[in-house]
Amino acid sequence: MTIREPSDVDEFDAVLNENPDSLVVIDFYATWCGPCKIMGPKFIKLSNEFTSVVFVKVDVDESEDIVSRFDIKVMPTFIFMRKGAQIVN
C-alpha cells in the first residue's frame, strides 16, 4: 500500500474525505528524530501488511498547519481516525 504524504492541510483533508469509512493511521514524524527513524520501516511494513488501512505520514517541520490541528508536541505520534474523527492516539 502506498503511504500518503500530504504537504498541506488541503491534501490532508482530501485523504480523509477520499477514505471516509477506512481506518486512517497518521504518523507525525521529523527527519531528525531518532525514534522516528526506528519506527519508519515498521510503518512501511504495516502499510504493506494491512492494505485496507490508509497510512499517512506528516513531517512536523513541513506541515505546521496539520500539526497544529492535532496539537502534536512529541514525535513520533500516531493517531488513528475513522469517519473524520480521532479514535485512538
| Active-site residue (options: 16, 24, 25, 36) | 36
33 is catalytic: yes
Backbone angles phi, psi at 6, to 5 degrees: -65, 140
Q: Of these residues, 33, 39, 44, 46, which one is catalytic?
A: 33
Count other C-beta atoms under 10 Å from residue 65's C-beta. Answer: 10
Catalytic amino acids? 33, 36
